Amino acid sequence: MPPTPPPHGPDRRRWLRDTAWRLGAVGAGGLGWTAPAQAQTDHTGGDPLGSMQWPVVKRKFMGDEPARFSPLVQIKGPPFAEDAMNVPVLLDARALARSGAAIDRIVVVADRNPVQQVLTFEPHRALPVLAFRFRLEQGSPLRALVRTRDGQWHVGQTWVNAAGGGCTVPGATRADGSWSQTLNQVQARFFRNVLDGQGTRLRLRVMHPMDTGLVAGIPAFHIEELVLRDSADQVWWRLELHEPVSENPLITFELAQTPPGTLVLQGRDNNGNRIHHEVTA
């Protein structure tokens, strides 16, 4: 029996439309694919900020260990970084600690920075609170990856926009050549803790150019480690710094109690230069 010819006039347009829809549905079914299934594919790994880099960041810094996004971890920065070389950040995981979790370390990363890892903080006898500044190359998610001693990771995040270029421009002391005159000098002072109403706040600055290695003709040159110890050689906190930390790092720590006597700040940079400074509470 010969096929039915297509109709004419307005009915013809309706017939062509319906036929095209049926052919498309059959073709899609023959390939084992449907549009709704593709739309539901999430290449961000469930990231609340929708970052395509998140699956790589998760695998790189947390491996296969269990991880979840947690409102108990707060990391705050400006909505827009007016100075991409000095972006202020406040990290606060006290709510997680109050829930009974023992915090092992905190890793701060910027998804879209050429050097993603900013720093690693081990609180030890300090509160899991840290204020610092870092360089941001472009608008990016900023993460606080908090590992507890049971092997769990708790993730806090925020988004910081920036005009760009924070990692690829030399700092002021590098530009004028004054960095060599103040290298690794330390300024430190204790204040009364204003977050919890008790304990002590320690604010310190270490003079260092913190070169990222991304400026032509200037190799990477940055502080690698800072550790605060008391007279009994007990560690109060340990900090591992990476290239994105801002020039002449200014860092604020919160200590749960006032440390006794004199404490010693020790550290080194990636060229082997030593840092040593005594601090009295």
**CB contact burial 73-105 (16+ within 10 A = b; e otherwise):** bbbebeeebeebbbbbbebbbbebbeeebebeb
- Which tokens sit at 34? 């449907």
Q: Strands 235-241 and 250-255, how do they pair?
A: unpaired
pLDDT value for 9: 52
Compute the distance between CA of residue 277 and CA of residue 66 in angstroms, rounded to an integer. 39
Q: Are strands 80-81 and 153-162 parallel, antiparallel or unpaired?
A: parallel
If you compute the radius of gyration of the chain from its CA atoms, what whole number of angstroms results? 27
Nearest to 66 by CA among 168, 167, 155, 196: 155
Ramachandran angles phi, psi of 112, nearest 5°: -100, 5
Residue with tokens 């020790």, as numbered in its chain: 266
Question: If 0-12 CB within 10 Å is exposed, 13-18 middle and 19+ buried, where does residue 39 land?
Answer: exposed
| Residue 1 three-state SS | coil
- How many C-beta atoms surround the C-beta of residue 50 within 10 A? 12
The secondary structure of 54-96 as a DSSP string is: HHHHHHHHHTTS-EEE-TT-EEE--SEESSTTSEEEEEE-HHH
pLDDT of residue 28: 37
Structure tokens at 162: 């920036």
Phi, psi of 14 (to 5 degrees): -65, -40
- Residue-wise burial string across 261-272, b where 16 or more C-beta atoms lie within 10 A, e elsewhere: eebebebbbbee
Burial class of residue 229, CB neighbours in 10 A (0-12, 13-18, 19+)? middle
Spell out the per-residue pLDDT of the chain, length 281, in tens: 555 555 555 555 555 455 544 444 433 343 333 444 445 788 898 999 999 999 999 999 999 999 999 999 999 999 999 999 999 999 999 999 999 999 999 999 999 999 999 999 999 999 999 999 999 999 999 999 999 999 999 999 999 999 889 999 999 999 899 999 999 999 999 987 666 667 889 999 999 999 999 999 999 999 999 999 999 999 999 999 999 999 999 999 999 888 888 999 999 999 999 999 999 87
